[in-house]
Structure 1
Amino acid sequence: MSEERLDSLLIENLIDNLQEVFFLFNQKGKMILWNNKVNQVTGYNNAEIIKLRPLDFFPKEEQKKINQKIETAFKTGKASIDANILSKEGELFPHLFTASFTYYKNEPCLYGVGLDIGDLQQKVFEINLMLNNTDEAFVILDKSFRIISFNQKFEENYFHLYGKHVSKLDNFLDLAKEKHREKLTLMYEKVLQGEFVTTESKILSPEGKLLIYDFTHKPAKNKSGETLGIFISAIDVTEKRKAQKKIRKSEERFKTMMKEGSDLIVILDNEGNYKFVSPNHLYYLGYSEGELMSTSSFSLIHPDDLDRIKDTFKLILVQKRVTAHPYRVKHKDSSWRWMQSTATNLFKDPTIGGIVINSTDVTDLVSIQKKLEANYELYNYIQKASNEAIFEWDIRTDIFTWGESFERIFGHDFDNKVFKLKDWIALVHPLDAEKEKNRWNLFLADKEQVKWTNEFRFLDSKGVYFFVEEVAYLVRDDSGEPIRMIGSIRDISHQKKETIKNKLLSDIGYFFKNEEKTILALEKSLEYLSDMCDCNFAEIWMVSKDRLSLQLYSNLESSEELRRFYISTKTQRKFNFGEGLPGKVWKTKQALNLEAKQIENEFIRAEGIKHLKLGMLSTIPLFYNGEVVAILMLGSKNSGKQEFYYKMYLKSLEHFLGAEIIRKQQQEELNQLFDNAPDILAVADASGHFRKVNPAFCQLLGYTAEEITSRPFFEFLHPEDLNTTNKEYRETVSGLRKADNFLNRYRCKSGEYKWISWKSSEIFGEEGLVYAFGRDVTERIE
C-alpha cells in the first residue's frame, strides 16, 4: 500500500473518530468529506449525503443566513454560526459551526466542525434567566468607554426611556446628551484612577413620569487589582425617595406632636429628676424645658398626692409599666392641674436610658366626672351626643346603662332587659375573653388603677364579630374599692383589618420562604389559618398542569372526625372544571361563603359531611396572573364566623397565596434541574470557593457537597494545574471573559485525578458569583 494511501486512511480514521460533526465541501456546494457523526445526526446514508448540498441539512428559514456565512468564509477565510441541523426525520439539533477555507486537491473548499450545543443552550438560558431577573441595571465599559457587556434590565430601561437599542462596543458617551459628555468624561477618568462615584439623575419617562435613578460608578478590576474598565450600576429609586420623603414628614409630624400635642412627655432618672421635657409643657403648665431640666419631678406634686406618687414611682423601678391614679401638678401660675400618667421603664433601652412618663391633662375630665356625680342628666346628654357606644356600669348592682349609640352601632336593644356583666362576656369572642381575664382581675384588685383599655372582638346583633377598642375609667371609693365604671367602645375593624392582614401575609410568606417543599409550606399555612380563623376543616385543591381538573393537594387531619371524613370520601380526590364546590369556584372565580343548609345541598362529598357538622364553609379561589391555580376551603362549626374572616382579611390571600404557591413550585423545579443534571454544575464565588455543587460533581469526586464547598477548590487541583487554573479563574471572576473548554485535573477522594473540561457563565449577583459547567473527559484524554 502506498504511503499516500496510508495517509488518506489515517485522515479518514481521525475524522470518523471526532465527537463533533465534520464536513468538507467545495465552492459548488458538493459534499466531499464527512464523518460518521453526520450520518448519526442527520439520519442519511452516504449515498444520500453525496447527492445533497450543504444547505439541504438546515431548515429553509435558516438557509439564507447560513449561505451568507458560507460566502463570508470563502472571502475572509473563516466564519461561525449557531444553526439547527434538520434530520431526515424532521428533528432539529442545535449546533455551533466553525468553517475555514482550504484547498483540497487543488480545489477551494470549506471544512469545519459542528458542536452539539443543545445542553449548553439550556444552561445558558437558565443562567440568563437568573442574571436578567434583577431590578438593577448594569453595564461594563472598557478604558475607552466602549460597552463590553450589559444585562437585560439596562437594555430594557434604555429602550423604554430613549426608544433606541444599545450594542456592545458602542461608545457609552454617545448615549449621553452632548452637553453632559465633557462632565461624564472627567468623572469616568476619576473612576479609572480608582475613585468610587455615586450620582443621582432625574429622567422624564415617555409617559411623563419623573423617575429618579441612583448610579454607582466603580473601577472594574481583575483579581490582581488591575483596573480594566468601569462598572456602572443603576437602580430606580423613585419609590424609595417617596418613602424617604414620607419618613421625613412623619418625623416632622412627630416633632410637631411633641410640641403641639396634648400628651406631656418626660424622661426621668432613677431619682425622679428630669432628663427630657417635651416643649408643650410651656403651653400646659407654663414651664420651659430649661426651667425643669435636672430638677426633681416630685417638687411639682400636690402635698396630698406626693406620698402616693412616690410609692408608684418605686413600683416603676421594678416593673415595666405603671399607671398612676389622677393626681395634681402645680402650674407656674400656682394653680393645680389634674394629670393621668403612665410610666414605662426603659432603662435598658440605650436610646432612652430612663423612665418615660406620658401624662394627659385630665383636669376637665375630673371636673366633668364630679359634675356627672352631681348631675346625672349631663351624663345622658354626653351619651346622646357621642358616636361611640358609651356605657356606665354600676359594679355594686352589676347593671350596665348604655347610651343610644349602642343600638345604633351594634344593633342590640336592651331597653326592656337588664344588661349585666354576663351579657357583656357573652358578646365578647371567647378567645379574647379568656385572654384578658387575668389582666382584668389584676386591674380591679390594684387600688391605684383607674384607666382600663382593651381591644377585642365584639358580636353585633347579626352574629358578626367586630374589632372594638374599649377605653374606660374606674371610680373607686375612699378605700380604693371599685364602685362604678364609665367608658366607651368604638369599632376599629378597619384599622385592625390592615394590621392583621399584614401579619397574615408576612407569616404565610415566611412559611413559603423557609420550607423546602410546597406541600410543607401549605401544611403550615393550613394549620396557621385554622388556628387564626377558628376552623376545624381546611383543604387546598390544586389545578392540574393541563388545567382540566383539580386535585386534593393538602388538608388537615388533626382530629378523629376529620380522619373519619377522609376515610369515607377517599375516592373523591379529584374534581373537574365546574364540578363540586372547588370546581364551581374555579369556574366562577368568585369566593363562596355557605351556611349549614347550603353546605348540605352544594357539598358533593355528602357521605362524609355528617362527620364534620360544619356551620359555615368558605371556598376561596387563589390566583396567579389572573388565572385560578388553586382553591382554599376553610370550614367552622360556628356559623357566621367564616364570612367575617373572609371580609376582614382572607380575601387578601386570593392573589398572594396563589403567587406564593407558583413561586415555590418554580423554585422546586429549578432545584430539581440543578440536582439531577448529568453533567457537573457548580456556583463559584470570588473567594475561590464553590458555593453550591450538584450531586453529579460529588459522585465524580467521591466527596460530599459539604466537603467540597467548605474548602478552597484549589486544594483539590493537581499541582501542575494550579498556575493555569489560577490565571483562568482570575480572568473569569473579573468578568473579562468566560471559560470555554478549560481543562484541569481534580483529585478524587480515592486519590486518583479526573480531567474536567470547564465552561463558565458571566458573573452575576452582588457577590460576583459564576456558574461553572463541567464534563468528565478523563477517558478521552487518557
Structure 2
Amino acid sequence: MNSLSSNGSPYESEDLIFELGPFPMWIFDMETLKFLKVNTEAIRQYGYSQKEFLSMNLKDIRPEEDIPRLDKAIKDMVTREGTYKESIFRHKKKDGTVFPVRLKSNLITYNGRNCEIVSAIDISEEVEYQDYLLRQKQIIGAISDINSILLKNIDWLKALKLCFRIVSETLEVDSVYFFDINLKEQTASHKMAWTNAERNSMLESPKFQNIHLSEVSDLLVCFKRGQRYEAHVANMEESATKAFLTSMKLRSILALPVMAGGDLFGFIGIDNCNQEREWKDEEFQLLDVLSTNLANHMARTEALRKLEESEYKFKTMVQRGKGLMAIVDSGVNYKYVAPNSKTVLGINAEDFIGKNAFDFINEEDIPRLQEYLPRALNEKHVSVPPYRFKDSEGNWRWIETVLTNHLSDPIIAGIVANTTEVTDEMEKKMAKDMLYSISKAIVQPCELSDCLDNAMEILISSTNICAGEIWLKTNDGTRLILRGKAYRGEAIKKFYQEDSVVDIVGKGVGLAGNVWKTTSICLWGNIKDSSDCVRQKGAETASINSAIGLPVFYGEEFLGCILLFSQQPKSFLSNMQYLLADLGDEMGAVVKQRITEDEYHNFFDISPDPFCIIGFDSRIKKVNKALAVALDYREEDLVGANYQQFVNSADLGVIDENLTSLMQNLSTEGVEVRMLTAQKDERWFVWSGTVKKDEKLIVAVAKDITENKLARISLKSAYERLQYAQSIAKLGYFRRNIDSDIQQWTEEVYKIFGHSPKNFVPSFENVKNCLHPDDRHIMEGDPILNMVPGKLHSFDHRILTPTGKIKWVHEEIQVKLNEQGERSHIEGTVQDITESKEFEQQLLLSNERFRLAMLASNEMIWEIDHQKNIMIRGNAEESDMEPTHNEPFNKDNSWFKKVHPEDRDGVLNSLYNSLGDKEKDSWEHEYRMELEDGSIAYMVDRCFILRDNMGTPVRSVGSVMDITTSRQHLEKIKEHNKNLREIAWLQSHVVRAPLARIMGLIHLFKEYDGGDLSVEELFDLISTSAHELDEVIHEISDKTNKIKDKEALNASDR
C-alpha cells in the first residue's frame, strides 16, 4: 500500500498533480467512508464546495437505490487482491443529477489511515452511445421481423396484429392500433389494436369504434399531405381534435398515414396515457417501415382482389358462352343456332333459322331490349340483362345474353349471342326483391294494419294473384284475425262487400284456420264449391277459383298465415310455389319484429318511466314523453342532441364504465345519475340499458328517484345527526322481542357497556352479568311481566365494563303491544349518567362542607342562587344576627332591612352594578347596620361572582365581617395620636422657648459676664424662664395622666 501525506514539501508535486488532475479525484477513509481530500475538478463537476465535500461520505454521492451495491463493494475492498481496481458505478450531483462513472482507485495510507484514492471519469456519453447502438439493434431487429411477417402472411390483419406486438414491446407504448378510413362516409373504423389492460377498456368504448373524421380533422390534414401527426395533447390549440383526444385520456399521440399510390387506406395510432412521449429518429424509422410496408401489403391485397374478380368475370363469360350460342344479323334474325338449343330450350336449332329473335321474347321485355340493338351495331361487346324467352312448352325461361359485334368479320358477318339460362337465379332474385319490398313496407313508420295492407299490395302486384290477406293470432292466442289485405279489379271488390265477410276465425275454421291447424301450406281449388270455405258466396260472386294458405313462423312460433286468391285454376298457384314457398318463413321475422316493436313503442309511449334510445355516437335517437316531461324539454329538443349535455359532468365517468361493461356483455345493475333539467336543476335517475351492437344503439330505461334520493339523503343526514346527538348525550337505544332472548343494541349502547358487536351478544343473561352485583336484583325473574304496557318505566343503576370500571346509567323502558293487543316487544333508551352522578355527589359533599363552614365561621357567610333568586345566610359568633336560614334575594329581606337607611341604596346599587358587569368576578363594600339595641355596627361585605358562558351570574358567595370593634379601636387610636401630637408639640415648641432663654442667659453669663445685665437681673430672668418651663412640664404631665386614666378605663371595660 502506498503512503501519502497531507502536507510537507516532498509531496508538493503530488498535491499539484492531485489538484490539477483533469478528472474528479478524492481520498476517503476506508473505515468511516468520509472524504479526506478532493480536487478542484470534483468540486466543479459535482457542485459541492470543498467544505461540503469534507463533511460528507461516499454514500452522500450515491443514489439511494445503489447504496446496497456500495456496501458490498466496501466489504469486498478488505479482501481484494492488489491495490488497484476499476469499476463502474452511478453517482449523484448536488442538483440531483444521476450519471454513470468509471472509477479507478488505489489503496493508500494517508496521514496514517487506510484510505483509497479515487479518480472518477464521467462515461455518460459512452453509455448513451452504447444504449443508442443497442436501441438501433433492437429497431433493426424489429424492422426485419415486421418485413418478414408482412411478406409471409397473406392476411394483412393477422400480420398487423403480430407487427403491433413487436412495435408495442420495442417502443414500450400503451397502445398501437389501426383505423380504416372511409373518405366517402367520412368515418374512421377501429380494425386492430395491441394494448395494455388499462387502455383496452377505453379502446373498446363505443365512441372509439367509429370516429367521424370531423373529430380528428387535424390528423386528416396531415395524412392528406402524406405526413405523420405528432402532438402533446396539453400543448395543442383548442380544437375538435384536442377535445376528442382529451376525452380518451391521452397525454400524447403519434399517428402515421397508411398510403400507397396516393390512396389513403387508414392510419396507425400510437398513444401514451401516462407521459408526454418525445419520439426519436430511429423510432420513426421503425414506424415508417411499418406504415409503408403495410400500405404496400394492403395495395397488393387490393390488386389481387381485383384480379380475382376479373378472372371470375372472365371465367363466367366463358362458361356462359358454352350455354347457348347463336349468330344474328343486324335485324336480329337468326343465321345460326348451336345444336344444344334442343337441350336448353327444347327447340331444334333449325326451327330458329330465319326467324326474328323478338318472336320468342316476352312482349313486356321487348321495349327494354330494343334499346340495346343500336349499341350492339356500334360497340364490340354489349351485355343484355335478363329477359324472358319462351321454350318449347310455352313456359317463360329467364336468359341473359352477351352480344359481340362481328359484322365486319367476313367469316362470321353477324352478331354472336352467347346466352345463359338464369331462370333459377331470376326467380330467387324476384322472390328476394319481393320479400325485401314486403319487409320494407311492413317496417314503415305507420300503423301495423296499414303496413300489412301495403305489403299485400306489393305481393299481388308482383304476381297475377287477384287478392291477398294476412291473418295474425290475437294477443290471447285463441283466434286468427284479418290484419291486412289488398286486391285488384272491381270484381274482386265484391269479395269483401258480401254479407258473409269473415275477419276472425278459430283453429280449423276456413282456409286460415286449416293452415293454423296443420301448420303447413294449404292449396285449395274450386273454393266456391267447397264446404270448407267459409266465404263461398263471396268467392262465387268474385269468380275466385283457387286459394293458397302459407303459414308464417318465427322460429317454432306460429304467428299467423298469408292467404292468396286467384281466378285461375289450382295449378296456377301450384306453379307459383317457387316464389311463395319461403314467403311465410321470411316474413315471420319481420312480422314478429314489427309486432314486438308495436308493443314496445306502445309501452315506450305510454310508460310512466323515462325511455330513450341512444346511438354509439352519443346522440339521442328517440325519447318518450315521460323523459321529456321529467327534464322539462320538448321531445324535439332532446332528439339529436348529445346525451352528455343533460348529465351532471361528475357522473359521466360512471356512465362510461357502465357502457363499457354493457359492450363487453357483462351484467350491470342500474346506475344512479344526476340529470339537468331545462332550468339546470338536478334530478336523480336510475338508468338501466341494453346494447344492440348490430344496430349500434343503446336502449335505456330510467326511474325518477329524485324524491326518494332526497329523502334518503335527508334521512341519512338525520340519522347521522341522531347518532352524533346520541354520542354527545351518551344515549343509546335497545329493543327486544318478547319471544326472544337477544336484545338489539345501537352503537352507542355498545360504547356505554364497553363492548363490541363482534365479541358480545346482548342476551338476557349477558346483560344481567354487566350489572353491578349490588344492582342485579332489578333483573331477577322477568321484570318485564310486571311492567304496564305503554307506560314508561325509569330507573338508575350501576354497570361494570369489561375493564372493571363502574358506570351509572339511566334506563327508560316501555312495553309495546301488537295489533292483537298482545305484548310484542320492549324498547327503551339507556344513558350514561356517570358524570352527572359524580357531580351530584361532589355537589352534596361541597354543600355539606359549605354548610359546616358557615356554622363554624365567626363571620357571616352568605350565598345567592341567582337562578332561584334565593339568599342563604349563615351565623356569626358574638353577634346578635339571625341564625342560618334562606330567604328571597331582594331589597325587602331581613338582612337589607337592617342596613342603615343612609347606606342601603348605595349597598344595593353597588352590588347590582357588579353583578351586571360581565367583566367583574368580585364585589366589596363597607356599610353600617342598625342593631336591635339601637347601636350602630360597621360591616365590610365582600363576595366572588360565578358566571356562565354568557357572563350571566349563576351564584355569588361572600362573607360579612363586623368591624365595629376595630372601628372603635381606630377612633381611640386617632384620639390618642392627637394627644401625643399635642404633647409632642409642647415638647418641641412650648418647652423649647423657656429652655432656650435659660441656656442663652447662662451663655451670656459665662462668656460675657452678664453683658450689660447684673447678676440679680440674670437670675430673675432665669427664674422666670424656669417657672414657665415648670408650667409646661405640669401641662404635659396632666395630659399624660389623662391618657393613662382613659386607657385604664377602656381596659376595665374590656
TM-score, length of structure 2 as denominator length: 0.33
Compare CA radii of gyration and give the structure with the larger one.
Answer: 2
TM-score, length of structure 1 as denominator length: 0.43
| Greater relative CO (CA pairs within 8 A, separation 6+) | 1
